[in-house]
Amino acid sequence: MKRISFTSLLLILIFNFSSYENLQAQSLELIGDAFVYGNPGMPIASHIIVTNTTNSSLDILCQKIIHDTTTGTQNYFCWGTSCWPSSTYISPIPAGVRTIPAGYSDSTNFTGYYDAFGNSARAIVEYCFYPQGMISDSTCLTVHFNDNISSVTDTKKEIGLGDFYPNPTENLTRINYVADNNSYLQILDILGNKIQSFDLDNSGVLEISTTNFSSGIYFGNLISDSRVISVKKIIIN
């Protein structure tokens, strides 16, 4: 009979344990864009869908890892109705914990933002999601913001909308815009009914109270010279 040395047996056990860990480190799946482009005059958003692939409900946290950025820019993230500044690298407990039932995808919309404040700058940010207390079971997505922005022709002069943030929301949301003197933002419900309108001038941040909105899906239309230039969706809880 062929004998197995203690060292060989130990190596086999370590290998099997490592393989088991790798198999188990798939509690989550992520869907999102690895490359995000946009107008550097407005925050650029990366939306990530987080799915719990296990048979148990999980409390999920997010860790932000910055691989490359530019001085004078900001990156932050929102999950549900809560947002955290650039100085936050791990979603705080308990506000930053999202409970996702077994087999379900997160419905509160995780969004990572990058704001270059009008500069043609770029950033590379990795977002890692993991069950609370199990950071070794992380699933990550690396996002390139504004990559190759020089290939976009004169984006600063283009009118357009950023994304609503926070989104979903309950009482208040904001949206960044670049507009001209003939522009306005029109809020429509999912049936196309006009809910509210806001005159816009040049560029800035529009703050909208949603206290009187019924729960549901709405759309913000940027209109200029009677043409719809951009449409953004917002969810009111």
SS3 150: helix
Is residue 179 domain-shared with residue 206, that is, in the same domain?
Answer: yes
Q: What's the structural domain count of the chain?
A: 2
pLDDT, tens only, 40-77 = 667 888 888 899 999 999 999 999 999 999 888 899 99
Q: Which two tokens stand for residue 224?
A: 């200029």
Closest by alpha carbon to 78, among 117, 123, 47? 47
Q: Are 139 and 126 in contact (CB under 8 A)?
A: no
Among the three residues 151, 168, 183, which one is the final residue of a domain in this structure?
A: 151
CA distance linking residue 24 with residue 182, whole number of Å: 56
Q: Which residue has the tokens 């759309």?
A: 219
Q: Does residue 119 belong to any structural domain of this protein?
A: yes
Residue 200 lies in a domain: yes
Q: Is residue 4 part of a domain?
A: no
In a shared domain, residues 101 and 179: no
CA-closest candidate to residue 155, choices 69, 36, 41: 41
Q: 147 with 38, same domain?
A: yes
- Which residues span the domain enclosing 164? 159-236
Q: Comparing 30-44, 62-76, 105-119, 158-172, which segment has the lowest mean pLDDT?
A: 30-44
Question: Which of 100, 121, 151 delimits the end of a domain?
Answer: 151
Same domain, 95 and 70: yes
- 209 and 166 part of one domain: yes
C-alpha span between 71 and 173 (Å, rounded) = 27
CB 128 within 8 A of CB 134: no
- CB proximity list for 161: less than 8 A, separation 6 or greater: 42, 175, 176, 177, 185, 220, 222, 229, 230, 232
Contact 199, 182 (CB under 8 A): no
188-211 pLDDT, tens digit each: 888 788 999 999 987 788 999 999
Distance CA 109, CA 49 (A): 7
Q: Which of 38, 82, 51, 69 is nearest to 172 (CA)?
A: 82
* Contacts with 94 (C-beta within 8 Å, 6 or more apart), sequence order: none
Domain-ending residue, one of 96, 124, 151: 151
